[in-house]
Amino acid sequence: MLTRLLKFINWILPKDDGLAVFDSVPDFSGNSQALFEFMRDMGEPEAVWIVEEPLDIEGVIQERRHSLRALLTILRAGSLVSTHGRMSEIRVRRQKYVNLWHGMPLKAMGYAETGEREFKEPVRFDDENYYLIATSTIMRNAMTACFNQDARRVHITGQPRNDKLFRSDGRIPEITGIDTSSYNKVVLFAPTFRASDYISDGRLISHHLNLPDFDAEAFSGFLKEKNILFLVKFHPLEEEEARRFFSEMDNVVLIGSDDLAKRCMDLYDVLPGVDVLVTDYSSVYFDFLLLDRPVIFAVPDLEEYRRVRGFVLEPFEFWAPGPRVETFSDFLEELERCLEDDDYYRRERRIVNSLVNQHQDGESSRRVYELVWG
């Protein structure tokens, strides 16, 4: 009833076409942040961020989520921009709604899920003021299926956050305080978050690189011998456990969500400085392919994950253009090869990249801006 009432009020209130409201998870990150910064450089329109906790950012207007001021700002805005579908429940057709989402789907999500997972059905719009973005024709089809959306509302612009991959060498020293030039290589482990990632004693296992036979002492020795800086970035719910696990290991640095938030950065400020990405089923590797650097997939539970969660893109073996490992010894072997040979799996990477990233030019923010406000 409250949602219906707010939507009715939104319907009768006049809109300010020069006002755009931005939202992201975490605050001030991802596609919304990248698009906002591009638009700020353009000088229009006026923008307000809806945030959990206001950040100390000069020149950025912010309203606390669930406050009356935030609600009134949303109700009078001509445009709403979000990475997680927020504000869509009360949005009306006179408002532009820009659904930037937070990554292209590899895992089944939304209406494409076939398992027993509960999900919140995305709000479906069929008007010309609704914009959902994708990175290629294949990804447009995937987003259409996941959102049960009219394909004419899905636009191939690329993701604004990926513009960062073309414009710097990474900002790892700013985030970690570490001079990466003193290391031979930088490797990042960035897994997807899985609520079922537990071992028998109830503790999360992703910090074991998903490998049941992971040997922390041997891994620490390997990193020191090869002079590798190993970065790890986990879901916030896993950070505390992972930080304890890695605290005694040499050459390993955990990048926390707070480390990024207080600097108004995100993972895409890290990726340009990474030589090899290690992941499992996170779609971050679709973006990393734009850098044409090796990816390793730690997937000992592939068949189980396929059965329980499923993929939008199959077969996974084709869409994962890099070595797939199930044991710790295989992981070390493949990591060493990736570090020594940039051409390893390059042909496969470029094929998949051409299918998932139509635009490879660092101009995605501009395309979104011109599509919606140009």
Distance CA 139, CA 355 (A): 8
Distance CA 144, CA 153 (A): 9
Q: Are 79 and 32 in contact (CB under 8 A)?
A: no
CA nearest to 55, candidates 268, 263, 266, 267: 263
CA nearest to 2, candidates 95, 53, 52, 71: 71
Res 120: pLDDT: 65
The reported pTM is 0.93
Q: How many beta carbons lie within 10 A of that of residue 48, not counting itself?
A: 19
Distance CA 322, CA 286 (A): 12
Res 203: pLDDT: 45
The half-sphere exposure of 40 on its side-chain side, counting CA atoms within 13 A, is 15
The residues pairing with 276 across neighbouring beta strands, listed in sequence order, are 187
- Opening angle at CA 159, ends 294 and 62, nearest 5: 120
Q: Which DSSP string do the residues of 72-115 spell out, in sequence order?
A: HHHHHEEEEEESS-TTTTT--TTSEEEE--SS--SB--GGG--S
**Reading across the β-sheet that carries 185-189, which strands appear in turn?**
252-254, 228-232, 185-189, 276-279, 295-298, 324-325
81: left (phi over 0), alpha (psi -120 to 50) or beta: beta
Q: Is residue 14 classed exposed, middle or buried when 0-12, 13-18 and 19+ CB atoms within 10 A define those classes?
A: exposed
| Local confidence pLDDT in tens for the 374 residues of the chain | 899 999 999 999 999 999 999 999 999 999 999 999 999 988 877 899 999 999 888 889 999 999 999 999 999 999 999 999 999 999 999 999 999 999 999 999 888 887 666 666 677 898 999 999 999 999 999 999 999 999 999 999 999 999 999 988 899 999 999 999 999 999 999 998 765 444 434 444 566 788 888 998 999 999 999 999 999 998 777 787 777 777 778 899 999 988 898 888 999 999 999 999 999 999 999 999 999 999 999 999 899 889 888 999 999 999 999 999 999 999 999 999 999 998 999 999 999 999 999 999 999 999 999 999 98
Res 119: pLDDT: 61
Res 199: pLDDT: 41
Res 370: pLDDT: 96
**Alpha helix stretches (DSSP H) within 266-360:** 284-288, 302-308, 316-319, 328-340, 346-356
CA nearest to 146, candidates 99, 115, 105: 105
Res 261: pLDDT: 86
Q: Is residue 114 classed exposed, middle or buried when 0-12, 13-18 and 19+ CB atoms within 10 A define those classes?
A: exposed
Tokens representing 2? 């409250």
78: left (phi over 0), alpha (psi -120 to 50) or beta: alpha
Res 93: pLDDT: 96
Distance CA 214, CA 234 (A): 17
Tokens representing 66? 């669930």
Distance CA 206, CA 200 (A): 14
Q: Which residues of 225-236 are buried (b: 16+ CB within 10 A; e: fewer)?
A: ebebbbbbbbbe
Q: Is the peptide bond before 300 cis (omega within 30 degrees of 0)?
A: no
Q: How many beta carbons lie within 10 A of that of residue 182, not counting itself?
A: 8
